[in-house]
Amino acid sequence: MKRTFENPIIGDVVHFVKYAQEPGGPDTVLDVDLKPGGGNALHYHRSFDEHFECLAGELQVQVGRQVRTLRPGDTATVPRGVHHRFFSTSSAPTRFRVTISPGHAGFENMLKIAYGMAADGLTDQRSTPKKFWQMGVAVHLSDTNVPGVLGLLMPLLRRAARRAMADGRYEREMAPYTLA
């Protein structure tokens, strides 16, 4: 099974240390190489916690309203339901480990899909899927939720995802990326 996925648009590389279904406990464990200035937007998950450990460089992790700078060996835990994001303000690359507990096959598949679509030119310059329903599938699979005004789109995104899964678009256009 393939373990390393690269997103050429945002410059991140994700290496799956452990998939949720593999022996050794129910967690998903992945190492992320984050380019300088990289990161993600504020979001939250309802079904799993995330534990971040900085392996190299510096990583900023926002948990709620608090921003912490992690250096090698430092950790931060994000309980489910808490708004969070990670990012780098460093001019050097960052490597960190994320443990998702309990493991989440949908989140794993979303990463494979998102990075595969980016590599195939099917996303915009920020690596967002070009089709609304594809964005909905990514949100649905990964249990990613966004706060604030953008959160008003969540029901529409989930509805678009359900329709795409029911009418075969997901199987034709996105599911093949999960086979990697």
Taking only the tens place, the pLDDT of each residue in 29-55 is 999 999 999 999 999 999 999 999 999
Question: Domain ends where: 63, 79, 101?
Answer: 101
d(CA 8, CA 28): 23
Q: Please determine, for residue 9, whether its predicted confidence score (pLDDT) is greater than 90.
A: yes
Mark whether 153 and 66 lie in a shared domain: no
Whether 83 and 127 share a structural domain: no
Q: Report the range of poorest mean pLDDT among 52-66, 85-99, 137-151.
A: 137-151
Tokens representing 30 are 């992945």
Please give the tally of structural domains in the chain. 2
Report how far residue 60's alpha carbon sits from residue 151's, in angstroms, rounded to the nearest whole number: 23
User: Is residue 109 within 8 Å of residue 14, measured between CB atoms?
Assistant: no
| Cα atoms found within 13 Å of the Cα of residue 152, Cβ hemisphere only | 3
pLDDT, tens digit, 9 for 90 and up, residues 104-138: 999 999 999 999 999 999 999 999 999 999 999 99
Q: Which of 41, 72, 101 is the last residue of a domain?
A: 101
Distance CA 29, CA 20 (A): 8
- 101 φψ region: left (φ > 0), alpha (ψ -120 to 50), beta (else): beta
Q: Are residues 111 and 37 in the same domain?
A: no
- Domain span at 71: 4-101
Retrieve residue 68's tokens. 């912490």
Out of 42, 70, 101, pick the residue that ends a domain: 101
Identify whether residues 44 and 84 lie together within a single domain: yes
What does the pLDDT read at residue 1?
82
Distance CA 8, CA 175 (A): 20
60 and 109 share a domain?
no
Residues 142 and 128 both lie in one domain: yes
Same domain for 120 and 90: no
3-state secondary structure labels for all residues of 5-47: EEECCCCEEEEEEECCCCCCCCCEEEEEEECCCCECCCEECCC
Same domain, 25 and 69: yes
Residue ranges with strand state E in the chain: 4-7, 12-18, 28-34, 49-56, 59-63, 66-70, 75-78, 84-87, 94-101
pLDDT at 180: 73
* Torsional sign, CA 42, 43, 44, 49: negative
